[in-house]
Chain A
Amino acid sequence: MSFVRIRPIASSALLALLAFSASHSPGRFDPTGIAAARELSREAAQESQPGPTTDGAGSSAFEIPFEKYTLENGLEVILHRDPNLPRVAVNLWYHVGPANEPPGRSGFAHLFEHLMFEGSKYAGRQFDTLIEAAGGTNVNGTTSFDRTNYFETVPSEQLELVLWLESDRMGFMIDALTPDRLEVQRGVVLNERRQSYENRPYGPSELTMYDTFFPPGHPYHGNVIGSIDDLNRASFEDVKAFFDAYYAPSNATLTLAGDIEPERAKQMIQRYFGPLRKRPKPERRKLVTPARQGPVRLEVPENVSLAKVTMAWLVPPAFSAEEPGLELAGHILGSGKASRLYQDLVVTELATQVESWLDDNEYAGVLAVEVMVASGVPVERVERALEASVTKLASTGPTSAELVRAKKGIVVELSSSLQLLNGGSGDAGRAGVLQKLNHYLGDPGRLPSEMQRLSGVEPDEVQRMVQTQLTPAQRLTVVTLPKAAPEAKGASPEKKAASKTEKGKAP
């Protein structure tokens, strides 16, 4: 039930707005490139802002009032009204992702997502121009392992425009698609793959990690982005078949959050989505990801200056009974400067940065800690220290103060996230959280009970999770090693640097 991503410690986006260096720098400085979210989006995301609660009230209850109903053709609708700002978020989830890709078509769900912006029969090819002209913000489509979503936030008087556009592509995208547009988006997606993985430090390591956890035959194999070969194989016929099978109203959920008049909104939804033909709801695949057999350690050479150790464990799926304890264990291990790993590895100068994250999905979760190895420190030493920290947490459990802090951190992040009508990759903010709960639990109203589960976790439960889930058997260690470190490695960077101090003027 990870609604909020564990944030890296040195994060702040504030002054990124102010000055050029910062505006070019990642607003949130993250030299590791660790910031991990498994989603891909059609457009590189704008910086997502942390965000929470419905106008102040009851932040502890985390109640998001909503109404849910289903159209005759099977489309689920969730409405959340908040008239405080004259804006409304529209967030449409299709319950399809790489989990549904046919063999040999890794990356297809995401390529398809790009095609959804290429136009539809009646609205034509003007989705982006119309949304921009309407004052749309946070406009994107994203794909993660289990679902694909499309979202935009608009001034409330523009709601009908969005419903028109979204319903047109739900019903009639395939009628407008042409082979040349498929080719262009294939090229864009291949460039996304290059930019996000092949040419990004630690990107190849990430692909390796996921492909090892999810071997050929597993629906998550190939990661969301897919393999180059598979992307090149995707055909126009594949697009048609995928649209027919999965882009049915019965396989989608539409959420509106914001300044709506519910009765008027329902009328508009009926007008635009109601006439779409009823099509069968695809079955979800039944699958249990097999447990791993013993620890695996891989080395991936890359063009980086610092080695990185990622220790990850295959853990139970999203919203499992184990998840609250696991999420807290992740926090206690690697989130914040008071965390175990920061104290054991960074303060001791073995590492420069640590982070932990939990990627929870339908068929399995991954909990990982990532450690940037300080220059000059042998990787093996860091690995041993990292293992020792985990072992210690397993043998003694967290202190109650640690647990209180971890819970408080999650409460604040959620309170922050819920300020947004829609946030993150369309799975945070109010619309996103309602969608996520609905997708995995079938009930958008589960936030208070899920938060109750979290707040009820005792120290021994966290300890038990570390003992039973973060085991060597479930562990995969991926070590990124500098291929050839021209100047970064080695003894005295100071001296080398000093010789350049009288440098001439830049051209």
Chain B
Amino acid sequence: MSLELEFRKSPARVASWSLLALALACASATGKGGESPNAASGANGSSESSDQSWRQTSPAAGAPHAFEYPPAQMATLPNGVQLWLVPRKSGTVALSVNALAGGSTSTPGHSGLAALTLRLMTEATQQKTGLALAEAAEALGANIDFDTGRDGSSLSVEVLPSDAEAALALLAEVITQPRFAAADVERIRHQWLDSLRSERQEPGRLASLAGMRALLGPVVAAPVRGSVPDVAKLTREDVLKFHKQWYVAGNLAVLAVGDLTLERLTELAQKGLGKLPARKPPPLPALELPPAPTQTTVWLVDRPDAVQSSLFVGQAFPERSAVGYEARQVMNNLLGGLFTSRLNLNLREKHAYTYGVRSTAIATRRFGAFVVQSSIKTENTADALEQLELELRGLAAAKPESITPDELDRAKTDLIHQLGANLEHVRRILGDTTELYVDALPIDYQSRFASRILEVDQRMVAAEGARLTPDHLEVVIVGDKQKLTPLLAAKGITARDAPAQLTE
């Protein structure tokens, strides 16, 4: 049950798999050499009578199967709209239209505008009322999904192959001719505000909304869906202007995964989006990042009677295009990405402070962050912070040889195969393709990912670990202040009340 979505495996996970064949086979043969370190055997009347000691030998892996992540194909319409396709025989087709118009477009006082605009686009078009548009999508068995991230916004659908043409026409209509009726804007803005307030009642979510702002400042790290005061002031004029400026041919891409050809996709896209004028979007607002904190800062958001503390621990980290991205993902994976990561083995499997802890090395186009999140039993909050800091400190000061070959191998193998597993589903491939476009990656990035990961060694992981700054962290705790204050004080931790700017 996906209860706390922060605990999904690292969302920034980019993994590919391909030519790694040999290395992986060797990798998995290591670290298990048949020993059975179990002391408790036989104590309680083993369940089987016959001799089963042959089981102590773990089987060797068979010969690895070579595999390639299929490269995307790309074309551009005369007006500049990009087309990306991964052809695939599959039961459905996944389609999206993406704009480089995410949270990073937001100017002070206007957070949430990109996300709200996208939501409003899906409400109604000039030809179709809200109900008619919903019926048209649902007649294809689809909903128009909308999602805004830091760097991009996307409208997407998944339909049967026979409905691909109708689905793309519908997306094009939504992109080019949204209705933005005044009454719709007001209604949806109010519902949006309600949902923002509701979102802030979810303690893990609130911790990360606050933590990111503590880390990167209220403008750069403004919630992509907006702060409550900002969204309260957004107007229909803001929305119209945003749509006009950012949903232009030079800022759009159509992405498709399924049983299609590039010729066919070009034809369909030309029909729906070919008439958009060839314009480019405005420049992004300047990026102003705050200086790193001089010491670790702990912010407390009171949630009386909370039985757990929702924890956010973060620091600034390199942006997506900075050299060493893959090594940073490997470092993150062994520190807090894997189930058997150092953090999870410590906080969950050793101490039972939590149901799980995860770290993420976030990397957007313009900045990054390293973040650890967990929900900790209230009574263990200070202990967990101490252990967490210990693990960060350990990796920050790590010599290359202290990165064990086994953990390094698991971290790399996992990244590679998570990407390989994406090939099971058109939507996951679409997600990978979206990364190509939004992160401005080379078109064969996924095909080459495995070999990049395989190059990562202990020295590179230690070098990325050395970026950790355990003495300069931003920490947010959402929990029961009355119980937490003495617990934190006992460990010499001073916590300050989080100001409204972090939580609104």
Contacts of B152 in A (CB 8 A): 15, 18-19
Interface centre among B133, B146, B147 (most CB of A within 10 A): B147
Contact, CB under 8 Å: A200 / B3: yes
Q: Contacts A23-B12, A336-B134 known; A201 to B201 CB distance under 8 Å? A: yes
Contact, CB under 8 Å: A12 / B198: no
Cβ < 8 Å to B, chain A residues 73-124: 85-87, 119-124
Contact, CB under 8 Å: A51 / B435: no
Contact, CB under 8 Å: A14 / B154: yes
Contacts of B221 in A (CB 8 A): 20-21
Contact, CB under 8 Å: A176 / B40: yes
Q: Contacts A259-B65, A372-B198 known; A135 to B420 CB distance under 8 Å? A: yes
B224 interface residue per 8 A CB criterion: yes
Cβ < 8 Å to B, chain A residues 459-507: 487-488, 493-494, 497-498, 500-501, 503-507
Q: Which residue of A lies closest to B210 (CB)?
A: A506
Q: Which residue of B lies closest to A173 (CB)?
A: B47
Contact, CB under 8 Å: A12 / B154: yes
Contact, CB under 8 Å: B139 / A405: yes
Contact, CB under 8 Å: B92 / A419: yes
Contacts of A31 in B (CB 8 A): 195-196, 198-199, 202
Docked pose: A304 CA to B46 CA in angstroms: 51
Interface residues on B, range: 35 or more
B229 interface residue per 8 A CB criterion: yes
Contacts of A487 in B (CB 8 A): 197
B2 is contacted by which of A37, A125, A409 (Cβ under 8 Å)?
A37
B9 interface residue per 8 A CB criterion: yes
Docked pose: A124 CA to B196 CA in angstroms: 47
Q: Contacts A25-B225, A54-B91 known; A174 to B131 CB distance under 8 Å? A: no
A242 interface residue per 8 A CB criterion: no
Which of A185-193, A315-323, A446-454 contacts its partner? A185-193
A361 interface residue per 8 A CB criterion: no
Contact, CB under 8 Å: B308 / A16: no
Q: Contacts A19-B224, A31-B202, A195-B308 known; A126 to B32 CB distance under 8 Å? A: yes
Interface centre among B1, B59, B62 (most CB of A within 10 A): B1
Which of B174-182, B349-357, B391-399, B483-491 contacts its partner? B349-357
Q: Distance (Å) between the CB of B116 and the closest chain A CB?
A: 12
Q: Contacts A85-B424, A275-B50 known; A134 to B212 CB distance under 8 Å? A: no
Cβ < 8 Å to A, chain B residues 163-193: 187, 190-191, 193
Contacts of A133 in B (CB 8 A): 27-28, 30-32, 406, 409-410, 413
Contact, CB under 8 Å: B160 / A412: yes
B96 is contacted by which of A14, A119, A305 (Cβ under 8 Å)?
A14
Which of A153-161, A210-218, A389-397 contacts its partner? A153-161
Docked pose: A9 CA to B191 CA in angstroms: 14
Cβ < 8 Å to A, chain B residues 271-317: 290, 297, 303, 305-308, 310
Contact, CB under 8 Å: B201 / A46: no
Contacts of B364 in A (CB 8 A): 18-20
B504 interface residue per 8 A CB criterion: yes
Contact, CB under 8 Å: A122 / B55: yes
Cβ < 8 Å to A, chain B residues 230-284: 232-233, 259
Q: Which residue of A lies closest to B358 (CB)?
A: A44
A71 interface residue per 8 A CB criterion: no
Q: Distance (Å) between the CB of A171 and the closest chain B CB?
A: 6
Contact, CB under 8 Å: B3 / A374: no
Cβ < 8 Å to A, chain B residues 1-52: 1-9, 11-13, 17, 24-25, 27-28, 30-32, 35-38, 40-44, 46-50, 52
Q: Which residue of B lies closest to A140 (CB)?
A: B339
Contact, CB under 8 Å: A336 / B143: yes
Q: Contacts A138-B421, A374-B190 known; A21 to B223 CB distance under 8 Å? A: yes
Q: Which residue of A lies closest to B409 (CB)?
A: A133
Q: Distance (Å) between the CB of B438 and the closest chain A CB?
A: 5
Contact, CB under 8 Å: B339 / A43: yes
Q: Distance (Å) between the CB of B405 and the closest chain A CB?
A: 10
Q: Distance (Å) between the CB of A65 and the closest chain B CB?
A: 15
A48 interface residue per 8 A CB criterion: yes
B208 is contacted by which of A16, A24, A138 (Cβ under 8 Å)?
A24
Given contacts A47-B8, A171-B48, 12 further A-B contacts (CB under 8 A): A12-B154, A12-B156, A14-B430, A15-B153, A18-B102, A46-B9, A50-B425, A52-B92, A303-B305, A337-B138, A497-B228, A505-B217
| 14 pairs, CB–CB < 8 Å, chain A vs chain B | A14-B431, A19-B362, A29-B147, A59-B160, A122-B52, A125-B37, A135-B420, A157-B25, A187-B377, A188-B355, A191-B377, A338-B131, A349-B190, A500-B229
